[in-house]
A and B are shown apart, each in its own frame.
Chain A
Amino acid sequence: MKKIIKLTINGESVEAAVEPNRTLLQFLREDLGLTGTKHGCGLGDCGACTVIMEGRAVNSCLILAIQAHGKEIITIEGLAEGGRLHPIQQAFVDKGAIQCGFCTPGMILSAKALLDRNPKPTEMEIRTAISGNLCRCTGYQKIVEAIESASETIGSEEVS
C-alpha cells in the first residue's frame, strides 16, 4: 500500500504517495523526472546515483523513498542558481573533468558534500570523498584538480 511522504527537494517541498519498496532513485528519476541522478548499478557500488541527504552524500539506490520522509535532499538539478553554474560545476567544465558525464552528477554532489563540511580539503581527503564514485573515463586526475580549484573559488568568494 502506498504511503504519503513529505520531503524537501532542491528547496521545494514535495508531497507524494509512494510504494514502500520504491527507492529514492526511482522516485527521483521516474516519478519526479529528475533524471540528472543516474542509475549505474542499483547496488550502491558505482555512486552514479549520489544525492545529498541532510548534508551527506548518499547512494539514492540504497535508500527507500519513504526513508527520505521529512528529509532535505539536493540533486544535481538543484545546484545551478539563476542560470549560473555552481562553482564546482564550473570547475568541472573548465578543468576537463567531464568525459561521458554519467558519473558527473554524483561526483559533483560528493564533492559538494565534502566542501560544505571541509572547505579546504587535502588531495587525499578529496580522493577519499569520491572513492565511492566510480569513473571509467578520466582516471580521476582532472576531477581531483577540478575539486581543488572549486575549493579555492568558493574560498575566495566567501572572503570577498
Chain B
Amino acid sequence: MNEYSVLNSRLPRIDAPLKATGLAKYADDLKFPGMLYATILQSPVAHARILNIDTSRAKKLKGVKAVITSKETGLIKYGVSPARYDETLFAHDKVRYVGDEIAAVAAVDQATALEALSLIKVDYQELPAVFDMFEAMKEGAPQIHDDYPGNLNAEVHQEFGDTEAALAECDLVINHTFLNKRQDAAFLEPHSCVAIYDLDGRLTLHTSTQVPHYVMRTVAMVLQIPVGNVRVVKPYVGGGFGPKCEATPLELSCAFLSRFTGKPVKMTYSREQVFLHSRARHQFFAEMSLGVRKDGTMVALKNKAILDGGAYTSFGIATVYYAGSLLGGPYKLKSMKYDGYRAYTNKPACGAQRGHGGVAHRAAFEQLIDRTAGELGIDPIELRLKNIMTAGDMTVNELDMSSLGMKECIEAVKEHSGWQNKKGKLRRGKGIGMACGFFVSGAGYPIYRSDTYHSTVVIKLSEDGGTAIVQTGSAEIGQGSDTTMAMIAAETLGISIDNVKVVSGDTDLSVDLGAYSSRQTLMTGHATREAAEQIRGILKRYLAQEMGCTEESICFSNGIVKFDGQPGNYDKLRSHYIKEHRGWTDQPSGEYLTFKEVARMTYLKDGTLVGTGKYKPPRLGGSYKGAAVGTSPAYGCSAQVVEVDVDLQTGEITIENMTDAHDCGLAINKTSVEGQMQGSLSMGLGECLFEEVKFDSRGRIVNPSLGEYRIPTALDMPNVKSIIVESHEPNGPYGAKEVGEGAIMPTIPAILNAIYDATGVRMNELPVTSERLFLALKKQEIA
C-alpha cells in the first residue's frame, strides 16, 4: 500500500492541459511591441583566416537596425568550464568550422535580416582543415587552436590499483574496440530567444534553455554587466537532452543587439542551425580490455577513449572524464585504468547529451562482458549477477552506491522477458541480448568551482491560505520537474496537488543549476521539501500556541489538521476564521480544521508566509585528479533485455521486444518515470540503428534535417515493458533518485548483444544500418 497521499502515484502532469491545448508558450511564441528579428552570419568554410569583414552595405539596407561583429561585442572568452574558455561570441581572426559565427543582424523583419546577411562581405584565406579525430592528433595536422598543440583539447589519465599486474594474473583477458558516431539531440523545438534590454541597464532573456542559471552568468560575463542585472526566464522548452545546457551565440547576440537597439530582439535557429550549433553527442573510439578469473570474477578493466570534440570545448572536459569514471560500476572490479583524449577537429563542437560521456563506453563494456560470458560458457546474466554491486558498495574509483537495486533490475528483466526460455534457444536470425548501466542523480559539483547551493526554493502561501506557490529557478524541459516539485510540496505540506502552483525557470526566483545530469528530482526536490517543512513548522508553532498543544501532536494531511489523530477543540479558531471570511460562500464546515484556515490565521498574525529550502551535496568522491566528475549523492541503475529479428538476406533489423527495469528510488510519479524510461530507450535505439551526423570532404553537414538525419518514428519503436524498481535512496528526497539518463545506458549494448545472438556477428561500429550489418554478414559467410 502507498504510504503517501500524493507521491508514488500516477497524477497527471500539471502542465499537460496547457500543452494539450496549444496554450503553453515556448520562446518562439513570444512577441513584444517593437520587436526586431535577428539572424547570425555563419562561416561557409571549415578553417580560414578572416582577412576582412565589411558590414557597410548591410548597415545601409532599409529596415536594418544593427549589425554587430567582434568589433562591437569585444573578445571576452567564454565556454562551459572556466578551465577551457575557448570561444568568443564572434570569430575575429579565424573561423574553425562550417557554422562558426561571424556577425549578427537585427532588422524589422526576418526577410530583411536575412537579406542583410547576404550583404556582409567576409574575405577568407582558407587554411588546411582536419575532420577526423585520429588525423587531428597526428604530427603535422592543421592546428586549430594555437594554445593546444597537437589539437589535444584535454587528456585524462587515471588508475586505481595496478591494472597491468592484475591483468597478468587473469585467466582470461579479452580486448574490444568500439566506435559510435556523432549524434544530434534532435529535440523538436529549435533554440529560440527574445532579449529585452531596458534603459536602466537590465536584461531580461526569455530563452529555450535547460540552465537559466548558467546562461545568466555567461551572458553577464560576456556583456560585462552585473549578474544581478540579468534575468533569464525559461518559457516551456521543447526538449533539451543536453545541448541546451550552455549559453548560445543566439542568446548572446540577441542580448547585444537589444542593448544596441533598445528594442526587444528575437532569434530562432533554423533546423540546419541546430545541427550546426550541435553541442550534442561526441564520437568516441573505445579500446578496452577486461580481465576475469575462470569462475567469471571480474578483476581488471583497461579503458582508452578518443573523442572527436569539434572546434571548441563546450562540455568536453566533463565528457572525457565521464567516459572513464562511469565504468567503475555496477560491477566490482579490483583495478581500473583509464586514458582519455579529446581532439579538436574542424567541425561543430560536441557537448553533453543524455547519458553524458557514458553511453558509448558503456556499450563497449557491456559487449565485452557478453563476449567474456561466451568465452567462459557462462550465461551473460549469471556473469553479471556474480559481479554485481549492491547498496553500500563503493566503486574502484570511489563512487558511493548508497542505494542500488541493480540485482533486482536484472532479475526483473530476466523474468519479464522470458530470458530462460529464449537465450540459446532461438533460431538463427532471432536473438536476445541484455545489458546494465547506471548514472548520476545530479553532478556532485557545479560546472564552475564554487560552494554555491545547487538548488534553493521559496514556497509562499497565498494570503487566503489556499494555495502554496513554489518558486524555483529549476528547468522544466519536458521531463516533468514542475510536477515533481508540486507533488513533493503537496506531500510535505499535507495538501492536495490542486492547491499547489509552481512558478519555475526564472533566475529571479531562486538559485538552481538547472536540468542536466539528472539532478532536478534529487536536488530541487530536497530544497522543495525543506521549504515546505519550514512552512509546516511555522503553521505548527502558531497552532500549538493557539491551541495549547505540542507541535508533535499536530499532523497535516489531505488538506486537514489532526491533533493526536483527533479533530481537537478548534472552535475559537474556526469562529474567528468565519467572522474574518464573511461574505464568502466557501466557509469551512467539516469535522476537521483545514490547512487553509490555519494558513489564513497564521498570515493574519505574521504576514506573508514564506518557507525557503536549499540543497548542496556533501563533499563527495576521492582526492585524485578529476575525482569530482562522476560523483553524485545517488545513482540510478537500469537493466534491459532486447529481442531482435534480423533478416539474414538484407541485414534489416526489427526490434521485437524491449524489457527495461530501472531503479529510481521512490518513484515520485510512476507515469513520468515510465515516460523517461521509454524515451531513453527510443533515443538509444535511434543511436544504435540509424543516427549519424555526416560530413562531406569540406566539413559541411550533409544531413542537417530531420528527414535525412533519421530519428525513431512510431513505426520504429516497439512497446516496451517498463518495470519500476524502487530501492530506498538515503540521500534522496523521500528516497527518490534519477531516471532520465540512466535508462539509456544499457539500450545500445543490449541491442548489439541481441544482434550477435541472432547472427554470430559482433557489431562494434554504429549505427548498425542494414547496409553495415549486411556487409558484416557477407564477410562472415566468406570467412
Contacts and interface: CB of A to CB of B under 8 A. Distances in A.
Contacts of A45: 271, 705-707
B672 A96 contact: yes
Contact of A77 (B21, B28, B478, B678): B21
Nearest to A75: B22
Contacts of A44: 707
Interface residues of A, number: 56
Given A100-B238, A134-B706, A92 B16 contact: yes
A37 B22 contact: yes
Contacts of A77: 21-23
B706 A43 contact: yes
A139 B679 contact: yes
A156 B291 CA distance: 62
A132 B680 CA distance: 20
Contact of B714 (A29, A90, A99, A130): A130
B740 to A, nearest CB: 10
Interface string A110-147: 00000000000000001110111111111111111000
A14 interface: no
Interface in A18-51: 29, 33-46, 48
Interface in B4-28: 10, 12-13, 15-26, 28
A131 B560 CA distance: 48
A100 B23 contact: no
Nearest to B28: A39
Find the residue from B20, B675, B681 having the highest chain A CB count within 10 A: B20
A137 B675 contact: yes
A14 to B, nearest CB: 17
A60 interface: no
Contacts of B681: 139
B490 interface: no
B136 interface: no
B714 A104 contact: no
Contacts of B15: 98, 101
Interface stretch (B143-151, B183-191, B492-500): B183-191
Given A45-B705, A46-B188, A136 B679 contact: yes
Interface residues of B, number: 57
Nearest to B707: A45
B238 A142 contact: no
Interface string A78-104: 011000010001101111101111111
A95 B11 CA distance: 10
Nearest to A106: B188
Given A79-B21, A96-B671, A131 B190 contact: no
B674 interface: yes
A102 B26 contact: yes
B90 interface: no
Contacts of B678: 138-142
A105 B22 contact: yes
Contacts of B746: none
B26 A38 contact: yes
A108 interface: yes
A66 interface: no
A7 interface: no
Contacts of A128: 714-715
B682 A139 contact: yes
Contacts of A142: 671, 674-675, 678
Given A45-B706, A99-B478, A100-B189, A127 B715 contact: yes
A39 B29 CA distance: 10
- Give the most central of B19, B681, B711: most A CB within 10 Å: B19
B20 A108 contact: yes
B365 interface: no
A76 interface: yes
B684 to A, nearest CB: 10
A82 B24 CA distance: 19
Given A38-B238, A99-B679, A100-B189, A136 B711 contact: yes
A134 B190 contact: no
Contacts of B674: 96, 142
A7 to B, nearest CB: 19
A9 B92 CA distance: 49
B768 interface: no
A91 to B, nearest CB: 9
A72 B10 CA distance: 38
B477 interface: yes
Contact of A80 (B21, B236, B675): B21
Interface string B699-721: 00000011100011111010110
Contact of A96 (B12, B28, B31, B478): B12
Interface in B443-491: 477-480
Contacts of A130: 714
A105 to B, nearest CB: 5
State the main secondary structure of chain B at its contact with A. loop
Nearest to B237: A100
A126 B21 CA distance: 21
Contact of A141 (B25, B26, B31, B719): B719
B705 A138 contact: no
A135 B188 contact: yes
A93 B705 CA distance: 30
A75 B22 CA distance: 9
Given A43-B707, A75-B22, A141-B678, A136 B720 contact: no
Contacts of B29: 29, 35
Given A40-B188, A43-B271, A140-B717, A85 B20 contact: yes
B120 interface: no
A131 B715 contact: yes
Given A139-B682, A140-B714, A100 B21 contact: no
B68 interface: no
Nearest to A34: B22
B241 interface: yes
Interface in B650-697: 671-672, 674-675, 678-683
B733 interface: no
B19 A101 contact: yes
B56 interface: no
B706 A137 contact: no
Given A48-B188, A99-B480, A138-B682, A41 B16 contact: no
Contacts of A85: 17, 20-21
B239 interface: yes
A105 B16 CA distance: 11
B550 interface: no
B189 A40 contact: yes
B608 interface: no
B270 interface: yes
Given A40-B706, A43-B706, A85-B20, A103 B715 contact: no
Contacts of A80: 21
B714 A144 contact: yes
A36 B479 CA distance: 20
Contacts of A99: 239, 478-480, 675, 679
A42 B715 contact: no
A98 B479 CA distance: 10
Contacts of B12: 93-94, 96
A45 B270 CA distance: 13
A44 B271 CA distance: 11
A144 B717 CA distance: 11
Contact of B238 (A93, A101, A127, A132): A101
B707 A141 contact: no
Nearest to B683: A136
B214 to A, nearest CB: 20
* The 7 residue pairs across chains A and B that have the minimum distance between CB atoms: A36-B22, A100-B478, A102-B238, A101-B19, A139-B678, A76-B22, A139-B682
Given A98-B20, A141-B678, 20 more contacts: A38-B26, A41-B706, A43-B707, A45-B706, A46-B706, A77-B23, A85-B17, A89-B17, A94-B12, A98-B13, A99-B479, A100-B237, A131-B715, A137-B679, A139-B679, A139-B681, A139-B712, A141-B719, A142-B674, A144-B719
6 contacts: A42-B270, A77-B22, A80-B21, A98-B20, A134-B711, A136-B186
